[in-house]
Structure 1
Amino acid sequence: MKKNLYNVSQIELTYKPKLKASERPVIKCMEDVYGIFMQCWDKGKIDLIEEFKMILLDKGSAVLGVINISSGGMDSVIADHKVIVTAAILGKASGVILAHNHPSARLFPSERDIALTKTIKVAASSLDIAVVDHLIVTQSGYYSFANKGLL
């Protein structure tokens, strides 16, 4: 049988929740968010390499999951807005909270951090996905883009 070279490839879309809705933690404050991220961060890497993670949220701010987006080097990480938005869509998220660490332990964003956050916010909002916050995390605390008016 000859294959049709002009058929469009498809991704099968399914949703397989791992927890019942009633079992999901609900975000009430940024300290909750920081705690969740710190539970998911490899403590052996947080002071060594930059990593980018994302919490997926439903409409009621319940956590759908935490996704590792990418790992980088000692002073940078690449986070592709297309990967981030795709993960949010596939995870059925209404909102996301972004986070990356600074191995230097500096709790303030670079110009690249600010520009990336704006790019992700524009891409996500075009699909009705809210970027609730972006945290920079270290073992000693966090910086919230939302709290500083950068969202």
Structure 2
Amino acid sequence: MRKKLYNVSQIELMYKPKVKACDRPVIKDVEDVYGIFMQCWDQGKIELIEEFKMILLDKGSTVLGVINISSGGMNAVTADHKVVVTAAMLGKASGIILAHNHPSARLTPSEQDIALTNRIKVAAGSMDIAVVDHLIVNPAGYYSFANKGLL
């Protein structure tokens, strides 16, 4: 009997949509994006801890899904650009919209927010995935990187 010298993990690529294509919302403007994110955000946490979420889009701006990327503390959240791009590829996204909240209710981006957005944009772009927007959200409103010319 031959002894196995290597134990390796099996990797499987899979996509299991739970919503029919005809029932998925289409993004027409930033208000649609904000509405979708607000439906997905736990309202008990939005003013307590920072979280980072992402909408996956097909080429026609139809929403393929929403994913929670990470959860942080009261003042910061870390989002790994490798996780963001991997999730977008597994979800067969052509575009992504990023969002995170500021429990402080301040809607302006920090230098770290801008740097993270740029890292994700470069990483996603290398896989032909467009970063359509990045929103900073709270219950009262949003800040859109795209609307402010930061993408």
Which range, TM-score by smaller chain? over 0.9
Q: Does 1:110 align with 2:110?
A: yes
Q: Does 1:62 align with 2:96?
A: no
Distance 1:141 1:14 in 2: 35
Give the SS at the match of 2:39: helix
Unaligned runs of 5+ in 1: none
One-letter amino acid of the structure 1 residue matched with residue 22 of structure 2: S
Distance 2:129 2:5 in 1: 37
Give the SS at the match of 1:87: helix
- For this pair of structures, how many residues does the alignment match? 150
Give the SS at the match of 2:42: coil
Distance 1:28 1:42 in 2: 24
Distance 2:16 2:66 in 1: 15
Give the SS at the match of 2:96: strand
**RMSD between aligned alpha carbons?**
1.1
Measured after TM superposition, the shift of residue 8 of structure 1 is 5.5
One-letter amino acid of the structure 2 residue matched with residue 101 of structure 1: N
TM-score, normalisation: structure 2: 0.96
Distance 1:8 1:119 in 2: 31
Deviation per CA, 1:71-100: give whole Å up to 9, x if none. Answer: 000010000000000000001100000000
Unaligned runs of 5+ in 2: none
What residue number does 1:79 align with? Answer: 79
Measured after TM superposition, the shift of residue 10 of structure 1 is 3.5
Distance 1:16 1:73 in 2: 31
What residue number does 1:148 align with? Answer: 148
TM-score, normalisation: structure 1: 0.96
One-letter amino acid of the structure 2 residue matched with residue 128 of structure 1: D
One-letter amino acid of the structure 2 residue matched with residue 83 of structure 1: V
Measured after TM superposition, the shift of residue 122 of structure 1 is 0.2
Measured after TM superposition, the shift of residue 4 of structure 1 is 3.8
Comparing 18-27 with 124-133, greater Cα deviation is found at 18-27
What residue number does 2:133 align with? Answer: 133
One-letter amino acid of the structure 2 residue matched with residue 142 of structure 1: Y
Distance 2:51 2:125 in 1: 23
Deviation per CA, 1:81-132: give whole Å up to 9, x if none. Answer: 0000000000110000000000000010000000000000000000000000
Measured after TM superposition, the shift of residue 19 of structure 1 is 1.5
Measured after TM superposition, the shift of residue 21 of structure 1 is 1.1
One-letter amino acid of the structure 1 residue matched with residue 82 of structure 2: K
Distance 1:102 1:35 in 2: 17
Displaced runs of 4 or more, over 4 A: none
Give the SS at the match of 1:37: helix
Measured after TM superposition, the shift of residue 20 of structure 1 is 1.5
